[in-house]
Structure 1
Amino acid sequence: MNPDWRGAVVRRLLLMVVASLLLGLLTDQYAWSLVVGLALYLGWTLVQLLRLHTWLKDHQPEEPPPDGYGIWGEVFDGLYKLQRDDLRARRRLQAIIDRVQESTAALKDAVIMLDSDGNLEWWNSAANRLLGLKDPQDSGHPITNLVRHPAFKDYFESGRHQEPLELPSPVNDRIHLQVHLTRYGNSEHLMVVRDVTRLHLLEQMRKDFVANVSHELRTPLTVIAGYLETLLENVDQVNPRWQRPLLQMNQQAGRMQHLLNDLLLLAKLEATTYPSNNQPVAVEPLLQSIRSDAQALSADKNHRITLEADAELQLKGSENELRSAFSNLVFNAVKYTPAGGEIHIHWWCNEQGAHLSVQDNGPGIEAKHLPRLTERFYRVDSSRASSTGGTGLGLAIVKHVLLRHQGRLDINSTPGKGSTFTCHFQSSQIARL
């Protein structure tokens, strides 16, 4: 815009006044001449305002503003410049959006954008193939109405999206999908869906292999253990130099049987996602029984094992599976806590759900080991773990039992001060007397 536009306006007004005065000199009507001049100037200004209003109301995106002169020419030129700048910015943004859409369209993974209510806003072509979405008829519909798997609905509504969800594709149940949900902006959701069919098949092959091998090894191991027990029952008739080897073989055979039993239990836990005998379990007497067993396991170590439990608080699930998980935590505390140590078992509930903690004052665990403790056969200290006779599968069993009961395991430990293992269960799993 011309920086001297104010001077141009003043000059035009002075020119209009001078012309009105000249007209008044000729007609001898100075006042009326000024009134007529100002009225003409005001009418011209109103006409320009009307042109501007009409253009703002009805113009197309790239239609330039009307031509003008004087101050209104400056205004229309300024609007035209702003319009061109805006069009350039919009074209740049559109080019970026087009590139993003082209790049996501080339992905094999489905990318879906949802609003804060979970309604579909945009998705790439892979979402059509993996989830059966249809454009444009599915736009604006809730994603839970289009992906109807119960696990997905629970996952979406729970708000806990730290871990991905695996489920069969609604298009083809032989295709297994992994779903990641991420919140961004004003509570919108970005949903990424990946085809993990090959990984699922490999994992299934691993499970089948472990289960089959464990099952097949039970028979020969039972025979070997049976003969060893027979020989040890008649140890007086055996050459003395074979007595120690027979005792060691019997001990290791027993350890192998424990290992196979744990592997078979894990295979059973992995075979289904929820306990078949889902009934309210009285946890307090269950913990009393586990405490008694732990006291017997402690023997001459003289551990002080205390229990604090809400007697009316029950948990929906399988009593056998919960006993296996809880006893693993308590027995681990007994095994790794030095003689004379203290172990505290606490069962309680609050607004977040039900909780079981097993706290000890043992040697503790370094922070670098904590994320891997629930892995199969992971050893913090292989020499110490071997001396306790463990199989390395206890915490893996705990993890799978908790997953089947909609729970999770938290581990807190400080070297030299002890460890606390806490099981958390959702409020939906709670039952009371």
Structure 2
Amino acid sequence: MTNQDWRGAVIRNLLLLVSACLLVGLLSGEYAWALAAGLGAYLGWMLWQLLRLQHWLKHHQPEEPPPHGYGLWGEVFDSIYHLQRRDQRARGRLQAVIDRIQESTAALKDAVVMLDADGNLEWWNRAAESLLGLKTPQDSGQSVTNLIRHPRFKEYFEQNQHPDPLELPSPVNDRLRLQFQLTRYGNGEHLMLVRDVTRVHQLEQMRKDFVANVSHELRTPLTVIAGYLETLLDNADDLNPRWLRALQQMQQQGGRMQTLLNDLLLLAKLEATDYPSDNLPVAVDLLLLSIQADAQALSANRHHKISLETDFSIKLKGSEAELRSAFSNLVFNAVKYTPNEGEIRIRWWGDEQGAHLSVSDSGPGIEAKHLPRLTERFYRVDSSRASHSGGTGLGLAIVKHVLLRHRGRLDISSTLGQGSTFTCHFPEPQLLRR
């Protein structure tokens, strides 16, 4: 019924009531009392209907229909009943969708956990019970950091963004390796996906062990060969001149192989643990000053302009040897690939996000398609140029692993013909500010 129909019905009822009261007043001679009594009865009936509606709204069960009524109130109660049935059908459809979603997620082998904005458990599937040890219903409402107590998980959960997944042992079985991925949605809620990556982790560990073992076994014969070559070259006056160039090339290539093995063993060492063993405050400004001097010596007669800008008030917690290896890789790469008399800028600064180290050069730049793969092992933008410079293709891989161990990340930006910038970002908990 439209608003106009409602108003018409109310007016008609009032006119009929007033007419009846006037008729009674005509018969009794008491117009005022008859009108007052009629209007009072009408008001009482309306109040009684309102009380019935209020009582039903307050005490009714979800499926209980509204009370019956007559006339105008009958229309009101019928409209409420139709709205109630429509709402029940909509809730039924939504519940069917929710049931199907829960059934499909329950069939997944990956764990799915829904968390509120504070990190408290709201819902999880059956896989979460086997992989994480969650129990229904006693764990509902518990904080996820109280149930997964690994310090790296707490640190990961408290981050504002989660672009990369986190791998940790299962809290219920140390032999299982799990991969955690957090996604924010809605009003700050979290969706956590947990995958069993034990097989992948085992294969990766086998690869690491194989590379480390082969590298270690090759060091001894290579050291022997290099020693004999050095002895022969020390007595080059007694050798046929035709052999001198061959021995020099053999010594040069042997040196490259030793550098390669050293880098492989360093990578194996970096991958063996998550945190540096010597986690001490490092004066980055002094470290960079030493690296700048080494870079200037490496530049020699190429006359690079190497500038350094540092904030002496910011120290970095970690391993000085590892940080020296990473930072010097970035600076020495800039020296190798920047043309003569080019400019190299080293900058160390801090802000509200943490601390940052950038190494910028005026070199030839790198095509955008190569940037995502630069930190892969043995990946080279130009193999001929890398071979000429004596590179192993492992420098940026070492940088990446050192930064991961220090909770940092590497950003690379480059423009062809204008140069490249490599920036290391470190979070605030990794810093010590004077």
User: Same fold per TM (> 0.5)?
Assistant: yes
- The one-letter amino acid paired with 1:378 is Y
| Per-residue Cα deviation, 1:22-66 (whole angstroms, up to 9, x for no partner) | 322332222222222222222222221121111111111111111
Shift of 1:183: 0.9
| Per-residue Cα deviation, 1:169-217 (whole angstroms, up to 9, x for no partner) | 1111111111111111111111111111111111111110110010011
- The one-letter amino acid paired with 2:403 is L
Shift of 1:419: 1.2
Query: Which residue of 2 is the match for residue 353 of structure 1?
Result: 354
Contact 1:23/1:33, CA 8 A, preserved across alignment: yes
Distance in 2 between residues matched to 1:420 and 1:235, nearest whole Å = 45
- The one-letter amino acid paired with 2:221 is P
Shift of 1:15: 3.0
Contact 1:9/1:70, CA 8 A, preserved across alignment: no
Query: Which residue of 1 is the match for residue 198 of structure 2?
Result: 197
Distance in 1 between residues matched to 2:51 and 2:311, nearest whole Å = 79
Cα 1:254/1:73, change in 2 over 3 Å: same
Say yes or no: does 1:302 pair with 2:303.
yes
Superposed counterparts of 1:10-409, under 5 Å = 10-409=11-410
Contact 1:314/1:430, CA 8 A, preserved across alignment: yes
- TM-score by length of structure 1 reads 0.96
Shift of 1:6: 4.2
Distance in 1 between residues matched to 2:314 and 2:30, nearest whole Å = 103
* Worse-superposed segment, 112-121 or 18-27: 18-27
* Worse-superposed segment, 223-232 or 181-190: 223-232
Distance in 1 between residues matched to 2:33 and 2:313, nearest whole Å = 99
| Per-residue Cα deviation, 1:331-368 (whole angstroms, up to 9, x for no partner) | 10111011111212222323322222211111111111
Cα 1:358/1:11, change in 2 over 3 Å: closer
Shift of 1:231: 2.0
Distance in 2 between residues matched to 1:355 and 1:16, nearest whole Å = 85
* Worse-superposed segment, 64-73 or 226-235: 226-235
| Per-residue Cα deviation, 1:130-164 (whole angstroms, up to 9, x for no partner) | 11111111111111111111110111112231111
Q: SS at the partner of 2:392?
A: coil
Q: SS at the partner of 2:387?
A: helix
Shift of 1:369: 1.1
Cα 1:166/1:31, change in 2 over 3 Å: same
Distance in 2 between residues matched to 1:211 and 1:27, nearest whole Å = 116
Distance in 2 between residues matched to 1:187 and 1:19, nearest whole Å = 64
- The one-letter amino acid paired with 2:287 is L
Distance in 1 between residues matched to 2:168 and 2:422, nearest whole Å = 30
- The one-letter amino acid paired with 1:332 is N
Shift of 1:111: 0.9
- The one-letter amino acid paired with 1:333 is A
Any gaps of 5 or more consecutive residues in structure 1? none
Distance in 2 between residues matched to 1:46 and 1:284, nearest whole Å = 83
Distance in 2 between residues matched to 1:429 and 1:6, nearest whole Å = 72
* Worse-superposed segment, 8-17 or 318-327: 8-17
Cα 1:275/1:52, change in 2 over 3 Å: same
Cα 1:128/1:25, change in 2 over 3 Å: same
May I ask how many residue pairs the two structures share in their alignment? 433
Shift of 1:411: 1.4
Cα 1:322/1:59, change in 2 over 3 Å: same
- TM-score by length of structure 2 reads 0.95
Any gaps of 5 or more consecutive residues in structure 2? none
Cα 1:293/1:15, change in 2 over 3 Å: closer
Cα 1:71/1:271, change in 2 over 3 Å: same
| Per-residue Cα deviation, 1:224-261 (whole angstroms, up to 9, x for no partner) | 21222222222233333332222222111110100000
Q: SS at the partner of 2:306?
A: strand
Distance in 2 between residues matched to 1:217 and 1:134, nearest whole Å = 51
- The one-letter amino acid paired with 1:424 is H
How many percent identity over aligned positions?
A: 76
| Per-residue Cα deviation, 1:293-347 (whole angstroms, up to 9, x for no partner) | 2222222212222222234433221111111111111110111011111212222
Shift of 1:101: 0.9
Q: SS at the partner of 2:69?
A: coil
Shift of 1:289: 2.2
* Worse-superposed segment, 21-30 or 163-172: 21-30
